[in-house]
Structure 1
Amino acid sequence: MIYTQYIYLFKCLSHRSRLRLMELLAAHGEMTVSEIAAAFQGEDIEDRDPSTISRNLTILRQQGFVTPRRVGQTKYYSLNIAKIEEAFADFLKFLRTAKTRVK
């Protein structure tokens, strides 16, 4: 169904920790899970442990919003701004073309 991709898009973004994670990556460019966990310390973020951060990064990666880069045993994560822009542009196109779909 056409709505499924948008449900996943907004479900992915409807989590406070994931939005904060994206904000950190936007500010720092590239970070490891340990660096993200350290940045979350002292913040009112409920999902501060590395395993939960990794799970949130996986959700963002599945949507294409985060890209991992491996150096040895360490993964560095960065935002895929082009994919984020593409997802929102596609959603806006979906809304703009509603007149041709809805009867």
Structure 2
Amino acid sequence: MTANENLAFDALSDRVRRQILSVLGEGGELTVTEIAERVDVVGRSTVSSHLRILRTSGVVNERRDGRRRYYSLDAEGSVRDAFRFLQGILQAAVSLDTAAGDTADSESDPQRDTG
């Protein structure tokens, strides 16, 4: 696993941070106040702390506009690398399942020529 993948998985290991990501995925670019309103299990300051972790790990972007900060998912950041890592694992598992299913089907096929 690469350093970027590790950063993403560490950031995603927390339930509140996953909820924040879900909110950002549904809502697009939001302020910390807007995120805190939708994440009802913790307060605004805790959301800010989690956003700092998500931002430094490359999962979330921050854009400043005057005194406001807007947060959005970083589709090109470390989460992309983690997604590709998981995708590779899942593709390999599907390939193995498919190959195992093909082998089982050919062994039980009465039309198969046994010589």
Q: TM-score, normalised by structure 2?
A: 0.65
Task: Quickly say closer, same or farther: Cα 1:40–1:5, change in 2 above 3 A.
Answer: closer
Tell me how far 1:40 sits from its aligned partner: 2.1
Is 1:55 equivalent to 2:54 in the alignment?
A: no
Secondary structure in 1 matching 2:69 = strand
Tell me how far 1:5 sits from its aligned partner: 5.2
Tell me how far 1:17 sits from its aligned partner: 0.5
In 2, Cα distance between the equivalents of 1:6 and 1:66? 14
Among 82, 91, 95, the alignment partner of 1:87 is 82
The gaps in structure 2 that reach 5 residues or longer are: 90-115
Moved over 4 A (4+): 2-7, 92-95
The number of equivalent residue pairs is: 88
Tell me how far 1:85 sits from its aligned partner: 1.7
The gaps in structure 1 that reach 5 residues or longer are: 96-103
Task: Quickly say closer, same or farther: Cα 1:73–1:14, change in 2 above 3 A.
Answer: same
Aligned-residue RMSD, C-alpha: 2.3
Identity score, percent: 38
Q: TM-score, normalised by structure 1?
A: 0.71
Partner of 1:25: 24
Q: State the structure with more CA Rg.
A: 2
> Deviations 1:43-100 (Å, cap 9, x if unpaired)?
xx2xx211111110111111111001111100000001122223332x35997xxxxx
